[in-house]
Amino acid sequence: MRAQSKTSGQALLLVMWAMFVMCFSILGLMRLLNITIGTSSALERVAIASSLAYAGTTMGRNPEYPANGKPQTRKFPNGGELEIVVVSENGKLNINKLLAGQDRETLRALFRLWRLNDVEADTVLDSLLDYVEPGTTRRLNGAKADQYRMAGRPGPSGKLFRSVDEMASVLNFDLVVRNKENWRDYFTIYGDGTLDLTSAPVDLIKVVCKVGDSSARALMQGQSGEGPGIRDMEAARLAMGMTEKEFQALGGMVSMGGKVRRVRAKGTLGQASRNIEAICRLDTPPVILEWREW
């Protein structure tokens, strides 16, 4: 009991410290926001834009902030503007988990949905596996060091992907890129490998749950709060019209909710703007997995 009280006390101190820091940040931001476009220097405008972006990432890391991918915009009297977009990384496919488990079926179904034919889908699959696996043995439709050398490109790495962007380095992956411009929005390297049914897009619901378009869109309506909403696995099953046996067959492929989210915040004042993208895990306190500014 004494140990539990100590842990609770430490957690409370962490929360109080976070609130203390946030209060100072907000006070500083309010002071900056009193500077108008007309009276501020270029350096001050950049400072305000940066402060807005930082504040946006703090807001987006709050577990209560909706991770629905919809831009939320707030305008300030001095002309400043803040845009925040929060998406769940758990609503995407963890490419490393799929490749480590050699789950060709899910990836093939997704590539076919994106209008690749069977030969193209198998070529991409073999090339992805050849890229992340060590050794020189090449799959039938894949590519190893000799093929990369002939193409004048570096690779393969022989390691799991360190970022989603690295997937574009895979020889033959252009077959996907040409058909699905926003393919990056469907993959992640974070999370436990299950698909979060409260935030997954239609395409991923269809290929992971093996349902048709109408069932996937019915679940999407539940995600958006239309109707009774998606509260638990049973609600998700009913929304998609699946039998208990069909849903149980999914095993550990699906989940509800998730702790990893991507927060994009953009602060603007006049011609000055600052963008921050953070991937964080919602522990206490939140853990930053990636941070990018531009």
Q: Tens digits of per-residue pLDDT, 260-278?
A: 999 999 999 989 999 999 9
Q: Is 141 exposed, middle or buried (0-12, 13-18, 19+ CB in 10 A)?
A: middle
Establish how many alpha carbons lie within 13 A of residue 15's alpha carbon, considering only the half-sphere containing its beta carbon.
8
- pLDDT reading at 281 higher than 90: yes
Counting every residue written for the chain, the total comes to: 294
Model pLDDT for residues 210-262, shown as the tens digit of each residue: 999 999 999 988 876 655 567 889 999 999 999 999 999 998 899 988 889 99
Model pLDDT for residues 7-38, shown as the tens digit of each residue: 444 444 344 344 434 444 544 554 555 555 55
**Gap between the Cα atoms of 56 and 168, Å rounded:** 29
Interval 168-183 mean pLDDT: 97
Q: Which of 16, 4, 23 is nearest to 285 (CA)?
A: 16
- The whole-number pLDDT of residue 56 equals 95
Tell me the two tokens of residue 13: 């101190």
The CA-to-CA distance between both ends of the chain, in Å, stands at: 48
Interval 181-197 mean pLDDT: 94
- The whole-number pLDDT of residue 118 equals 97
- The residue ranking higher by pLDDT, 74 or 286, is 74
* Entry pTM: 0.80
User: Which residues fall within 8 angstroms of residue 36, CB to CB, at 6 or more apart?
Assistant: 78, 79
**DSSP per position, 102-124:** T-HHHHHHHHHHTT--HHHHHHH
**Gap between the Cα atoms of 275 and 46, Å rounded:** 11
Model pLDDT for residues 116-164, shown as the tens digit of each residue: 999 999 999 999 999 999 999 999 999 999 999 999 999 999 999 999 9
Neighbours of 183 (CB within 10 A): 17
What letter represents residue 93's amino acid?
A: L
- The whole-number pLDDT of residue 191 equals 85
- The whole-number pLDDT of residue 18 equals 46
Model pLDDT for residues 34-84, shown as the tens digit of each residue: 555 555 688 888 988 999 999 999 999 998 898 888 899 999 887 899 999
Q: What is the mean pLDDT of the chain?
A: 87
- The whole-number pLDDT of residue 16 equals 38
- The whole-number pLDDT of residue 43 equals 85
